[in-house]
Amino acid sequence: MRRLLPVLATVAALAAAPAALACGEGGYSYAGLAAATRAFGISASLTPLASFSIATGHTAGWVGVGGPHQGAGGADEWLQVGFNTIGGLDGSNLYYEVARGGVAPEYHQIATNVPTGRPAKVAVLEIAGRPEWWRVWVNGTAVSKPIRLAGSHGRWAPIATAESWDGGAGACNPFLYRFHAVAVARSPGGSWTPLARTSSITSPTTKLQRSARTTSFVAAQGQVALRSLASLSP
């Protein structure tokens, strides 16, 4: 599975993508928030609010750090955790993915067929006292071994976003995810604070519904999901 983790420069490129592209640049579309400042981790209570059957490609809602060319020597390097739905397979999966050292991303499945509407608190966090070493957390439990991301210490602004990849079919896949109580770590190991200053990550086919009082939002794409927004609260 190919996955693109956008950084702010990529967000700008997506916003400027020509309308002729069927579903964003490279068949990807996004809806989320990027932190405006660097941090040492990101967490959220993430919920798949609807189950959609998709024929090809994938959808996902995740939190993460890093991105294309963000590692040592300009290598692709990132770490993300969240839910996805894969074309041809029913149900939501919990997963995490890591890219490092210029090799193909590693995909790790944590759980399958997670019921729609069941939240999970997901996080990626740099380990206290071990610069450049990270772990993935789900519901307060570490689900990965320590992962070294070379050159990452103090360099990355975290991201919380939903995404769709059309699998080459041209049509954007539908999704509906709630991100609640998004927080960033101000030091390795924790010191969590609500995500405050942000930049929006959007595509022409997606929509964000944000709360003015909390660090929460709902990300949607597809006619059914977009119609549901009116009855949902972040």
Cα 111 from Cα 205, distance rounded (Å)? 29
Q: Check: CB of residue 33 under 8 Å from CB of residue 157.
A: no
The CATH number given to whatever domain includes residue 188 is: 2.60.120
- Please give the DSSP secondary-structure letter assigned to residue 127: P
Contact assessment for residue 13 and residue 25, using Cβ atoms and an 8 Å cutoff = yes
Confidence (pLDDT) at 213: 67
Total domains present in the chain: 1
Q: Would 2 be classed as within a structural domain? A: no
What's the mean per-residue pLDDT of the chain?
A: 87
Long-range contacts of 204-210 (CB under 8 A, 24+ apart): 204/19, 204/24, 204/29, 205/23, 205/24, 205/29, 205/172, 206/29, 206/30, 206/31, 206/162, 207/31, 208/31, 208/32, 208/33, 209/234, 210/234
Q: What would the pLDDT profile of 77-134 be if each residue is shown by its tens digit?
A: 999 999 999 988 878 999 999 999 878 899 999 999 999 999 999 999 999 999 999 9
User: What does the pLDDT average to over 199-214?
Assistant: 87
* pLDDT tens string 151-171: 999 999 999 999 999 998 888
Q: What is the pLDDT of residue 22?
A: 63
Residue 76 forms part of a structural domain: yes
What count of residues does the chain have?
Answer: 234
- Cα separation of 124 and 128, whole Å? 13
Range of the domain at 143: 8-231
